[in-house]
Structure 1
Amino acid sequence: MARRKPWEVSDELWAVIEPLLPKHERRFRYPGRKRIDDRKTLQGVLFVLYTGVQWEFLPQELGFGSGPTCWRRLAEWQEAGVWEELQRVLLDGLRAADRLDFSRATIDASHVQAKRGRSSPKVGPSPVTAHGRARSITC
């Protein structure tokens, strides 16, 4: 059995994601260019995120659309709140299946606000003054 590429979206995952995406109806008059399929565009976004290739160098031969198109679609979905809703839906599904285990968790300080204030007093005054010169400390 062939191994699935990391940017390929399975039918099962697509069934969860597709209802969360905003719907776009084509105009009857002056419809313009047909919009690239959302699933293909999502795979283009995942390809860029997985490989680290720059958006403008996304290979057209892969059929995901252009890099700027994928980037704009990603921004559109972000603005519509798709990613927060997808996270909620996936976590709800994992909770319902009793598949979440929080016995080990990591918190990244870049995403969690550091609270000000301490329960214990500070160590002492800084040995450097506000002018950047060393303070004379007598022992």
Structure 2
Amino acid sequence: MVERLVPDELWVLFRRVVLPTENRRPQGGGKRRAGDREALAAIVFVATSGCTWRQLPPVFGPCWQTVYRRFAQWSRERVWARLHRVILDELGARGELDWSRCAIDSVSVRVAKGLLTGPNPTDRGKLGSKIHLITDRNGLPLSLGISAANMHDSLGLMPLVRGIPPIRSRRGPRRRRPAKLHGDKGYDYAYLRRWLRGRGIRHRIARKGIESSQRLGRHRWVVERTVSWLAGCRRLHRRYERKPEHFLAFVGIAAALICHRRLTN
């Protein structure tokens, strides 16, 4: 189970962002520290299956309290964002990232309680959060973010574009700006177009009241497909985490798994 959820290739990349630690008691004795690979496999199982921490099966070895503490520690240290970036670097070095046309979109998720939540205007005002993402032409997530569900999509464009990390290229320096960015009518604002032009990014944003909605998905369908890939991480179907950094951690885990799947195919 551990080797299936965390294959050797993913474990090697994970070891590049998390150094092995050994907690030895000065007086000796005590229990041996649970392995990081077993804890990582348990976290991936929780993310993909959607089960609660208490429902974690004992097949992985460490108890659910240990797995949760390890998850909280790695979330504070931004391990998942660094793992996502390492995988993107490997994809960029192989020429698997296509910067010629990127797409931006968001998806809303229901929330029980917690911070960064708000009434969802598309879900009868029920409490929710929103996941924002930018993907490359192949649908690989480059930048991620979360917000309250009542935050307008247009407010997430600038932070997402700025949040794209400098990623290795097959030739030349690192890259962090797409050549062209596609967006729906939620991003149809003149100041966003000026801001993108100022950064040397061409834009293709649908215009309200002018363009038909029938052809809006002609090039943006890749980001819609990535949203469905994120839904494969069942922990994202409904937000149960009160802390937004924990919810963002599961989003980062899902993005890392999507990119790693492309890396191994």
Q: Which bin holds the TM-score, normalised by the shorter protein? A: 0.5 to 0.7
What is the identity percentage for the equivalent residue pairs of Structure 1 and Structure 2? 31
How far is the alpha carbon of 1:84 from its aligned partner? 1.7
Which residue in the other structure is 2:32 paired with?
34
Residue deviations 1:93-136 (CA, integer Å, cap 9, x gap):
11110101343534326437617xx549xxxxxxxxxxxxxxxx
Cα deviations across residues 38-72 of structure 1 (Å, max 9, x unaligned)? Answer: 00110001111111111011111x12422221111
> 8 Å contact 2:43–2:71 — kept in the other structure?
yes
Bigger share in strand: 2
Aligned to 1:137: none
Amino acid at match of 1:50: T
Partner of 1:135: none
- Consecutive unaligned residues in structure 1, runs of 5 or more: 121-139
Query: Could you tell me which residue of structure 2 aligns to residue 53 of structure 1?
Result: 51
Query: Partner of 2:97 in structure 1?
Result: 100
**Residue 22 of structure 2 is aligned to residue 25 of structure 1:** yes
Q: TM-score, normalised by structure 1?
A: 0.68
Structure number with the bigger relative contact order (C-alpha 8 A, sep ≥ 6) is: 2
* Secondary structure of residue in 1 paired with 2:103: coil
Change (3 A) 1:74 1:52: same
Aligned-pair CA distance for 1:6: 9.7
**Alpha carbon RMSD of aligned pairs, Å?**
2.8
Aligned-pair distance for 1:16? Answer: 0.8
Name 2:155's counterpart in structure 1. 114
User: How many residues are treated as equivalent by the alignment?
Assistant: 114
Instruction: Check the 8 A contact 2:2/2:38 in 1, yes or no.
Output: no
State the one-letter code of the partner of 1:49.
A
Task: Name the counterpart of 2:262.
Answer: none
Letter in 2 for 1:34: R
Cα distance in structure 2, aligned partners of 1:38 and 1:107: 34
Alignment partners' CA distance in 2, 1:68 and 1:113: 39
Q: For the structure 1 residues 57 and 99, does the alpha-carbon distance in structure 2 shift closer, same or farther, using more than 3 Å as the test?
A: same
CA distance in 1, matches of 2:7, 2:82: 19
Q: Distance in 2 between matches of 1:17 and 1:91?
A: 13
Query: 1:57 is matched by which residue type in structure 2?
Result: Q
Distance between the aligned counterparts of 1:82 and 1:34, measured in 2? 23
CA distance in 1, matches of 2:11, 2:57: 23
Name structure 2 gaps, 5 residues minimum. 107-129, 132-144, 146-152, 157-188, 192-265
Q: Does 1:73 align with 2:70?
A: yes
